[in-house]
Structure 1
Amino acid sequence: MARTLQYKFKGVLKQQPFSYDKYHDAFEAAAAAEGIDLTAFRKMEQQVAMTAKGKGALKDYRRNAFAALGFTEVVLLKDEAQS
């Protein structure tokens, strides 16, 4: 099933094709589209994952870190099949 990534970057709504073969998640794809290096983000994400007691902390970290970079409303949309 084809998917489309939709996100706002610094207030501008953008869309692009998304594939799990190419990207780990929607946030990674959005950062790649905007040319943002995620090396420091990934290191901190690993530390949060090792110390957090639940997945909620990791999701909150990811959402807050990307909001600081200028990303909001990062979602994957399912493309409807053409019949």
Structure 2
Amino acid sequence: MAFRITYQYHKQQKEIGFANDKHHSVYDAIAAAEGVDLAEFHRMENQVANVSRNDRKTMKDFREEYFRKLGFSQVTIFREE
């Protein structure tokens, strides 16, 4: 079953397809669609994971805040029918 992602990037509504075999996460998919380099994000994400001992809430908050600063908002994933 296919998935779709809707999001806003710099106040512009967008929608893309998503497949787990192509992208590690929803955030990787939207960054790739917009041409955003995530090297710095992945480095910082690894540091947060090491410090927080993989606490899910901390990791989720970090991802959402980082992408909010990049200009992404209202990220939603849903199944296509």
Does the TM-score normalized on the shorter chain lie above 0.5?
yes
Distance in 1 of aligned mates of 2:16 and 2:58: 28
Distance in 2 of aligned mates of 1:75 and 1:23: 16
Partner residue of 2:28? 28
Q: Which stretches of structure 1, 4 residues or longer, exceed 2 Å deviation after superposition?
A: none
The 5 A counterparts of 1:1-83 are 1-53=1-53, 54-80=55-81
Distance in 2 of aligned mates of 1:59 and 1:17: 21
Distance in 1 of aligned mates of 2:29 and 2:2: 15
The two structures, once aligned, show a CA RMSD in angstroms of 0.8
Distance in 1 of aligned mates of 2:33 and 2:69: 17
* Structure 1 residue 77: Cα displacement: 1.2
Percent identity of paired positions between Structure 1 and Structure 2: 39
Question: Rg bigger for which structure?
Answer: 1
Distance in 1 of aligned mates of 2:15 and 2:77: 10
Distance in 2 of aligned mates of 1:15 and 1:77: 11
Distance in 2 of aligned mates of 1:36 and 1:68: 12
TM-score, length basis structure 1: 0.92
How many corresponding residue pairs?
80
TM-score, length basis structure 2: 0.94
Give the unaligned 5+ runs of structure 2.
none
Distance in 2 of aligned mates of 1:16 and 1:55: 25
* Structure 1 residue 65: Cα displacement: 0.2
